[in-house]
Structure 1
Amino acid sequence: MAASSRSQTMMGPPTFNPPVPFTTKLHGGLTARRTIIIKGYVLPTAKSFAINFKVGSSGDLALHINPRMGEGAVVRNTCVRGSWGSEERKIAHNPFGPGQFFDLSIRCGTDRFKVYNNGQHLFDYSHRLPAFQTVDTLEINGDVTLSYVQV
């Protein structure tokens, strides 16, 4: 009981209709069982956009989600000390088309991120940055408009 009420208090108030590019602090860092909610709209002329879970002090990216409309791909990767890892692209369905709305729920687990769109499982991404708790920044940029962000 105490743990769940504590994790609830760490979530900040939602941000409505923030401008893009959007950056916000993840107060308390990225902890297991923390869920980030991002709702938005892919612009009709969109080429790509990115959602980054970043370590502010080093610039490392624990999770980079990069839907690319021209490729029909949702690229996931990690960047540590300026070096990108191997891309993950396999996905059962791609909800990020031009002119489409999305409702992402990104849940941090002890060994992986679990990502859902409109309540449907989209993909899992195993942690490649072992100290995922050092992630303290969320960045969203590219060809999207955002309607709601809850960290």
Structure 2
Amino acid sequence: MAVSGAEKDGINTEDENLNNSLYNPGLISPDIEEDITRLLTVPFSGRIRGGMRPGKKIIVMGIVDAEPESFDISLTCGRGTAEEPPADVALELSALFAHRQFLRKACVSGTWGAVEDCIPYFPFIQDQPFRIEIHCEHQRFRIFVDGHQLFDFYHKVPSLPAIDTIRISGSLQITKLG
């Protein structure tokens, strides 16, 4: 069976007849798989090829909406659905603009853990670009925003390779995933 150019580049397409010229490798990493017809639209859900592992990092670049309320970036074990979200959320980052908080939490076996909220400053500005890096290490995720390390989040989900999906929603536009 022939492999399409998009499949070779790591994009998981349902329709082999899609126009592969729509795929721009500068927008999305081969480690994130997604149907190119929905590329970088919010809400976004894409597969992390091979799951997470120490040394792997996820980069989300975007622009905050002009009148933002909040946005969420989640690393989950499976996609889930709107009615039934995944049982395990390894990391959920939530930017709340009204309270100027950048929260993080995890959900294991359907139970949400405590919310961590202490950060030195709120790094997001309405209508401005940002770059979030999530570095996976053996014991924790290290989160950087615009090159500044903001916090560490220790793993709650025991199997890093099971963390295979990134979900993004809220008051932002995604400009690049890596």
Work out whether the TM-score is over 0.5.
yes
The structural deviation recorded for 1:67 is 0.4
Aligned twin of 1:119: 147
- Counterpart among 57, 66, 71 of residue 44 in structure 1: 66
- Counterpart among 73, 83, 86 of residue 114 in structure 2: 86
Aligned twin of 2:93: 65
Aligned twin of 1:131: 159
2:54 corresponds to 1:32: yes
The structural deviation recorded for 1:77 is 0.1
AA matched with 2:107: C
CA distance in 2, matches of 1:14, 1:126: 31
Runs of 5+ in structure 1 lacking a partner? 1-10
Task: Work out the percentage of aligned pairs sharing the same amino acid.
Answer: 31
The structure whose Rg is larger is 2
Q: 1:147 to 1:129 in 2, by over 3 A?
A: same
2:27 corresponds to 1:15: yes
Q: 1:114 to 1:80 in 2, by over 3 A?
A: same
The structural deviation recorded for 1:98 is 1.9
Aligned length: 141
* Structure holding more strand per residue: 1
CA distance in 2, matches of 1:146, 1:57: 19
Using CA pairs under 8 Å that are at least 6 residues apart, name the structure with larger relative contact order, 1 or 2. 1
Runs of 5+ in structure 2 lacking a partner? 1-9, 12-24, 29-38, 81-85
CA distance in 1, matches of 2:69, 2:49: 31
CA distance in 1, matches of 2:168, 2:114: 21
AA matched with 1:21: P
Q: Is the 8 A contact 2:45 2:79 kept in 1?
A: no
CA distance in 1, matches of 2:26, 2:155: 26
Q: Is the 8 A contact 2:108 2:156 kept in 1?
A: no
Which digits, 9 at most, give the CA deviation of each residue in 1:101-124, with x for residues without a partner?
Answer: 111111000000011112111111
CA distance in 1, matches of 2:108, 2:79: 12
